[in-house]
Structure 1
Amino acid sequence: MTPNAASAPSAPSRRSFLASTAVAAVAVGGGVPLLTACGGSDSGSREGTTAGKDAKKILPAFVAQSVVTPDIPAKNGSAAGFTGKLDLAGLKTSVPEKLGKGGTVKIMSPFWGSPPKSDNAYYRAMNDTIGVDVVWQNQDGNTYDEKLGAVLASSSIPDVVVVPGWNMGGKIPSAVISKFADLGPYLSGDKVKEYPNLAAIPTESWQRSIFGGKLLGLPMPAPYVPNIVPFYRKDVFDAEGYEIPASADEFLALAKEITNARAKVWACEDMKWTAFNSFGVLSGEEKPLGWGQVDGKLVYRVETDAYLEALEWTRKLYAAGVVHPDAKASTNTDPAVRFGSGQSLIYNQDISQWYGRAAEQATQNPEFEIGGMDIFGHDGGDPVLWAKQPAGIWAFVNKKASEAVIRDVLAVANVTAAPYGTKEYMLTNYGVEGTHYSLDNGTPVKNDKGNTEVINAYVMIASPAPTIAHPDLPDIARAQVEWQQRMGAFTRKSPFWGLQITEPARYTNLSNDFEQLEDDIVRGRKKVSDMQQAVSDWKSQGGDKLRDWYQKLLDDNGSAN
């Protein structure tokens, strides 16, 4: 069930993948002390991380939610799956009484699309259920970083500010630490039990919500299995007898067989992100995840042979002419459109598009069938995949907020974190039955009012454990979860997985140019040797010192794997 799925980006990028995952997606490692500093702080914030015994003192107790049982339980880092029809009369209640005390809470959050009028039926219904008057200060999600920086630098900060992980650059982490309230006194240990839906949020997601030694964020949990799926046109593959490749060489051979430029059919779109997964490259989702250990030495992803090999293989696809020309030209067009029309038969994108493409084509092209390839090891063996972070969007409460406001915010979060199959989940994600949606053979269908009002709002405050449910396309939900579970069996956690790490500000922009260089190399505009030179420059300009900083972090905190 993806009522807030982001539109597909026109070309792969780390930021767009992060955004797509977070919006669509609607334990603690052991025994080590807090690293309070590592070489001093450029910004006045506490650098490093909090883990082990110190984190345990801060983290909320975990109490599994037993209100609803999923059809496919979570496994290997996957979401839980629901494949049955909805019975509105049988929905459970997870918040039996209002916890809000009638106060007003102002919330600033990113918003994709046109914000609804402030006094609308959806907002009124949610506020009445919670017992809090939430006033939204929605900002354009595409330019949110600019607004966020300005607001956090000012003295006028709303009661709650939502911060996505992809906006955690520059001075934002230090502003988060200095300007937002410690929620530990309300949620640490057994205190969270006053808010049962928050108590059911996985501990690993709360671990990611510790900034500067304090529990500051209300998280949006996410599966830790890699989220980039190599999608393929299953209907065409079946009709033509194409076999799913099991190695990098087999993929290239198949791509050459498929491509017929004269007929305007190309095998694939840009496959760089699948290449990184196939060759076992450390995660590019977030800087700390890019560090791993090779032969006992801490190395960054761009220093590895696997990184260069993945770029070289992707470059071969372009050189062979099997990649759609619009992808090579980096035109601002949507690869999903070309995939849907059959101009390209394979593309990689966020797992949420499995449902998005199937639902989109259901009425336009009944023959359309989308499949998701398992990620193959480049040499034909098992892949080595690297876990993504278990939370990537947070809601923070103003440090100046009164206890009454903080408790009202937690009342909001306790409703928005209600699990699938509850009345609160349906209200949060679909609005009011009859006003915003109706049930069609067990499938909730939003009307125009629902599509206008029930978007991008309360789901940003806190969310339940990761869930996938599509009552209209249950086979897609099953396919998504089962793909995650298969890939999860090959997913490893890199040394700094699950930790919220604040790097010294002097290293903030150190790795910024790699992604553009990657794209230039695979398209033939630059050489692999240019990347080798860039890595050498990175090392001399601070990469080696940053490695020492991370090594100290690792020595003091131990490895997540």
Structure 2
Amino acid sequence: MTPNAASASPGSSRRSFLASTAVATAAVAGGLPLLSACGSSESGSRDGTTSGKNAKKILPAYVASNVVTPDIPSKNGSAVGFIGKVDSATLKTSVPKKLGKGGKVTIMSPFWGSPPKDGNAYYKAMNDLIGVDVVWRNQDGATYDQKLGAVLASSDVPDMVVVPGWNMGGKIPSAIIGKFADLGPYLSGDAVKEYPNLAAIPTDAWQRCIFGGKLRGLPMPASYVGNIVPFYRKDIFDKEGYQVPTSTDEFMALAKEITNPRAKRWACGPNLKWTAFGTFGVLSGGEKALGWNLTDGKLVYRVETEEFLEALEWTRKLYASGVVHPDAWLGKNQAVDPATKFAAGEFLMYSGDMSGWWGQQASQQIHNPEFKIWGMDIFGHGGNAPQLWATQPANIFAFINKNASEAVVRDALAAANVTAAPYGTKEYMLTNYGVEGTHYNLKDGAPVKTDQGNIDVINAYVMIASPAANIARPDFPDIGRAAVEWQQRMGALTKKSTFFGMQITEPTRFTNLSNDMEQLEDDIVRGRKKISDMQAWVSDWRKKGGDGLRDWYQKLLDENGTATS
């Protein structure tokens, strides 16, 4: 098998290809300011804070899809799972007739890799299925924020523009409100039923599409269960008789037992800090608003909590005990690529994006057949279960130009209705894999991309809209089932913080307030700084604007309530 042999959900598959870039890795780590989009309160607006009863008037009606039944249903916020073999003859149809009217729709989107030639077989097939002439203006994903800012500041805005959450800093939020259409007349309430695949997108994801009090975005849904998994080498654990730890004490004892520098083996690779945050119940760092939570009647930020300091201290002890691979000492956590040394058995445990579960297993099949990566449950501390916090249920959005005619808007929505088709349908297979025989072949019931597929079928149409999160692993059904069940178990331990699901951009005066915080975190866990340095940093943070930012969030909460209120 190859790494192209199976797909995650569009929510997960986007994380998969994005996780291969430095931008995405930093985003997962919380190292970039993943600002949600709305206007700043500095202008006196309440942009992007619509919630509760007001939001219900705007949100599309939810109508679950019954076209395909997943092998593993969603539970506790997990993705649904598909582990059965793919059979072209039994694929379902979710779009029985073309909704597109033959118009032209230009789309600007970030692209990682070399864009294929216009008019390739994949683009032709997709456009024919949709009934629309989609023309792509692909832009380099690594520098997309620069291009995005320039385009939105101009009068030459394409019909559709894709905006990832991590590109929503600066003036982008206000540009979104000023440049893009209100889709409420087409999608709010029962209107969405004209586009059944869009109607099946979970409401939480649509909530994230409210910008400036209007429904403006098309979402790419994701599970709100955190996607950072503590991985371990199951093949070596089984061979050596190691038991998967269920507490911090067990983890530390096991790490010391495994580590043998003379044999070039350490227990831990990079990023265990991320797991420690879950173990000790630290509020999410994946997006600034998620780091705030109403506790005992007061808004508290994640870095102000005892849990935050405890997680850093425990991770510092790991490093100090000598159980962490030397490469992880080199710099920031996300700067270390764990794949090669993990596969070589130089370390047996590390934290990484869930996409690596399947990706690493697939990449090792030929040259390292005994290799088996597995995910352990996030463990607790001091006899307590871990306290996990929800991530956002959508973080990439597509918008439609406010000057687009109704015909263009409806053609764009026709495209989204196709790309949001669920796994197990003809539309999903074409969107994600291309034309069978040209772009992929079925091998033992799993789609495997051809060389042409790897050229043509990259991140284009999948960026328009997605179905509810799913994990599909027909080539590795054991991993597919395990990954969904991991999310289900972790989901049972997951809470939603106060601003979950809301689109919020902090006022610009607070933009750089936490810029050096993550570097200090990494210096502390590596022993270069002390816990007292973080305490001093937090005190300074409060004086420089943290307390003012707290007041700003409190006012936001007082005026709007939570997303579910």
| Contact persistence 1:231–1:371 (CA under 8 A) | yes
Q: 2:343 aligns with which of 329, 340, 344?
A: 340
Aligned to 1:242: 242
What per-residue deviation string (whole Å, max 9, x for no partner) do you get for residues 386-430 of structure 1?
001111100011122111111111010000000001000000001
| Contact persistence 1:107–1:159 (CA under 8 A) | yes
Alpha carbons of 1:495 and 1:14: their partners in 2 closer, same or farther (altered >3 Å)?
farther
CA distance in 2: counterparts of 1:419 and 1:444, whole angstroms: 16
Show structure 1 runs of 5+ residues with no match.
23-35
CA distance in 2: counterparts of 1:348 and 1:456, whole angstroms: 26
Q: How do residues 278-317 of structure 1 correspond to structure 2 at under 5 angstroms?
A: 278-317=279-318
What per-residue deviation string (whole Å, max 9, x for no partner) do you get for residues 9-38 of structure 1?
679954145899x9xxxxxxxxxxxxx999
CA distance in 2: counterparts of 1:149 and 1:318, whole angstroms: 41
Alpha carbons of 1:459 and 1:119: their partners in 2 closer, same or farther (altered >3 Å)?
same
| Contact persistence 2:39–2:48 (CA under 8 A) | yes
Aligned to 2:3: none
CA distance in 2: counterparts of 1:19 and 1:313, whole angstroms: 20
| Contact persistence 2:51–2:562 (CA under 8 A) | no
CA distance in 2: counterparts of 1:48 and 1:414, whole angstroms: 24
Equivalent pairs, count: 545
| Contact persistence 1:10–1:335 (CA under 8 A) | no
Alpha carbons of 1:104 and 1:179: their partners in 2 closer, same or farther (altered >3 Å)?
same
Q: Helix, strand or coil: the match of 1:58?
A: coil
| Contact persistence 2:107–2:158 (CA under 8 A) | yes
CA distance in 2: counterparts of 1:10 and 1:379, whole angstroms: 35
Aligned to 1:207: 207
Deviation of 1:487 after TM superposition, in Å, equals 0.5
CA distance in 2: counterparts of 1:287 and 1:193, whole angstroms: 34
TM-score calculated relative to the size of structure 2: 0.93
Aligned to 1:428: 431
What per-residue deviation string (whole Å, max 9, x for no partner) do you get for residues 188-242 of structure 1?
1111011000000001100010011000100000001111000000001111111
Aligned to 1:459: 462
**Residue 547 (1) aligns with residue 559 (2):** no
Q: Helix, strand or coil: the match of 2:366?
A: helix
- Decide which moves more: 269-278 or 525-534: 525-534
Aligned to 1:41: 42
| Contact persistence 1:47–1:504 (CA under 8 A) | no
Aligned to 2:73: 73
Deviation of 1:110 after TM superposition, in Å, equals 1.0
What per-residue deviation string (whole Å, max 9, x for no partner) do you get for residues 39-60 of structure 1?
x424x76446000111011100
| Contact persistence 1:8–1:334 (CA under 8 A) | no
Aligned to 1:350: 353
One-letter amino acid matched to 1:280: G
Aligned to 1:140: 140
One-letter amino acid matched to 2:249: D
Computed over aligned residues only, the root mean square deviation of the Cα atoms, in angstroms, reads: 2.1
- Decide which moves more: 406-415 or 362-371: 362-371
One-letter amino acid matched to 1:508: T
Q: Sequence identity of aligned pairs in percent?
A: 72
One-letter amino acid matched to 2:99: L
Q: Helix, strand or coil: the match of 1:503?
A: coil
Deviation of 1:560 after TM superposition, in Å, equals 5.4
CA distance in 2: counterparts of 1:19 and 1:102, whole angstroms: 43
CA distance in 2: counterparts of 1:12 and 1:220, whole angstroms: 15
Alpha carbons of 1:391 and 1:37: their partners in 2 closer, same or farther (altered >3 Å)?
closer
Alpha carbons of 1:319 and 1:12: their partners in 2 closer, same or farther (altered >3 Å)?
farther
Alpha carbons of 1:37 and 1:430: their partners in 2 closer, same or farther (altered >3 Å)?
closer
| Contact persistence 2:28–2:286 (CA under 8 A) | no
One-letter amino acid matched to 1:477: G
Deviation of 1:378 after TM superposition, in Å, equals 2.1
CA distance in 2: counterparts of 1:114 and 1:380, whole angstroms: 51
| Contact persistence 1:163–1:394 (CA under 8 A) | yes
Deviation of 1:475 after TM superposition, in Å, equals 1.0
Aligned to 2:535: 532
CA distance in 2: counterparts of 1:454 and 1:433, whole angstroms: 12
CA distance in 2: counterparts of 1:361 and 1:397, whole angstroms: 42
CA distance in 2: counterparts of 1:242 and 1:348, whole angstroms: 18
TM-score calculated relative to the size of structure 1: 0.93
CA distance in 2: counterparts of 1:166 and 1:218, whole angstroms: 16
